[in-house]
Structure 1
Amino acid sequence: MTVPNYRPPEALTGTPGKVTLARGTLLYRVHGSHRAAAEFNPRPAHCLYGGGRFDGTSCDPYGYLYAGLSAAAAVCETLLRSLPFDPSGGPRLLPRRAVQGRRLSMLRLTADLCVLPLMTAQDLAAVHQDSWLVHTEAHEYPYTRDWAHWIRRHTEPWAQGLVWSSKREPGDRTVLLFGDRGPAGALRADESDAVDFDTAQGREWLDSVLQPYYVRLAP
């Protein structure tokens, strides 16, 4: 994978793909319980420190919402970042603090959304990138955020988000939606289906999802 030793070009000379997330599609989101399931994160990440792969920043302050197209993808992307395997062969332990104050919610699209795919080498080449953009780790997220802002500028107004193969569950997909591009009310949450990780029932559910990844909640 290339190192981020160059800036995005002035012009977008490729032709990005377009994927429709159809009305009725289910999205799964792991989020803080203080935030409503369908609420976009309004807080810009710092341009240089912390933050997620494609967050808005003060350079491009948009609301953002990450979700998976399966519950497992949402859990893996949110909770299994940089969680190493045990050299002795034991299960990976997920600290309890990593799930405190969090829940999994289901969101249903009430409208079609047009997103830009970053799943294949051709998809990535169309925006002058390769798999580095969706596979690099957190220490290079300031660069991936800058590329996301560049992609947004050159796909306005049609790109309402991005979709790519999950880094931590490659068999599924991850979605980022831009809060300033989709129609109002495009996400409908069913709070009755939420899984609260602060409850015994929620932790039991989470352990069942984590088990195939050789992960369990720490005691």
Structure 2
Amino acid sequence: MPHYQPPEAMAGTPAKATLGAGTVLYRVHGSHRPAAAFNPRPAHCLYGGGRFDSTGCDAYGYLYAGLSPESAVSETLLHSLPFDPAGGARLVPRAAVAGRRLSVLRLTAAVDVVSLLTGPELAAVHQDSWLVQAESRDYPYTRDWAHWIRRHTEPWAQGFLWSSKRDPGERALVLFGDRCPPDALAATGDEAVDFDGPGGRAWLDSVLLPYQARLAP
């Protein structure tokens, strides 16, 4: 974790990337939540929660997605999943996929996000790869940094874009519900993949295979 708090002022200029209307996003989410609905529940400031969730210190709806199915799946299901020292496949617990599905969405309007893809882009917000590669034990700190970046990019930054920790060649993103226009996301018409069903399990195993992982029996 970093040994310093965010500074009062931002010396650099955060990099802006625009995701155009029509951009296709892939989201792994609980089937109880509509595919395009932002998560309204703030995380605890210290315990649980995701990398860039809102907290009571900065409350906003948030929605994580990937620019590919592989990004969405690997960021969600391979989180802190260790490799087998004996060389076997990593096993994704069945509980990790229970009640979950992958949905395909598209942006109905262009959104501007803070790009955190390169060293200079991270340095512009006083950070390095730790911000987007830290494990869950450091998420209270990454959330605090996210709140700071949001404050210094208000009102234009509607989310963050970064290289997936689990697959650096893929892109992950978070969108902020308080800054995106209403109905910013719409379903594409592609059928959701329910991970609980036989077809969903087979599809998921095919995506996990290149990552030396599969669903546990």
Q: Does the alignment reach a TM-score above 0.5?
A: yes
Mapped to 2, the partners of 1:204 and 1:94 lie a distance apart of 13
Partner of 2:48: 50
Q: 1:118 aligns with which of 111, 116, 121?
A: 116
CA distance in 2, matches of 1:10, 1:89: 47
Query: Which segment drifts farther, 157-166 or 84-93?
Result: 84-93
| CA distance in structure 2 between the partners assigned to 1:49 and 1:104 by the alignment | 26
- Name the SS of the counterpart of 1:193 in structure 2: coil
Q: 2:22–2:109: 8 Å Cα contact kept in structure 1? A: yes
Q: Is the 8 A contact 2:104 2:190 kept in 1?
A: no
- Deviation by residue 1:183-219 (Cα, 9 ceiling, x = unmatched): 1111001464210011111111101101111111111
1:72 to 70, 73, 77: 70
- Which of 199, 204, 207 is 1:206 aligned to? 204
The 5 A counterparts of 1:1-150 are 3-150=1-148
The letter for the 1-side match of 2:92 is: L
Tell me the number of residue pairs that the alignment of Structure 1 and Structure 2 aligns: 217
2:167 matches 1:169: yes
Task: Give the aligned residue type for 1:49.
Answer: Y
Equivalent residue number for residue 176 of structure 2: 178
What CA distance in whole angstroms lies between the structure 2 residues aligned with 1:81 and 1:117?
22
Whole-Å separation in 1 of the counterparts to 2:30 and 2:78: 16
| SS of structure 1 residue aligned to 2:104 | strand
Q: Distance in 2 between matches of 1:201 and 1:210?
A: 14
SS in 1 for 2:64: strand
> Deviation of residue 89 (structure 1)?
1.1
How well do the aligned residues superpose, as a CA RMSD in angstroms? 0.8
Per-residue CA distance 1:57-99 (angstroms, 9 max, x = gap): 0000000000000000000000001111111111111111110
Give secondary structure in 1 for the equivalent of 2:169: coil
Point out where structure 2 has 5 or more consecutive residues left out of the alignment: none
Question: How far apart, in 2, do the equivalents of 1:164 and 1:35 lie?
Answer: 24
Asked whether the equivalents of residues 105 and 191 of structure 1 are also in contact (C-alpha less than 8 Å), the reply is: no
Distance 1:131 1:215 in 2: 25
Gaps of 5+ in 1: none
Cα 1:48–1:191, aligned 2, differ >3 Å: closer, same or farther?
farther
TM-score normalised according to structure 2 size: 0.98
Counterpart of 2:5, as a letter, is: R
Counterpart-to-counterpart distance in 1, 2:84 and 2:181:
45
Bigger mean CA deviation after superposition, 68-77 or 183-192: 183-192
Q: Do the aligned partners of 1:55 and 1:64 also contact (CA within 8 Å) in 2?
A: yes
Q: Select between 187-196 and 111-120 the one with higher mean Cα deviation.
A: 187-196
Aligned to 1:157: 155
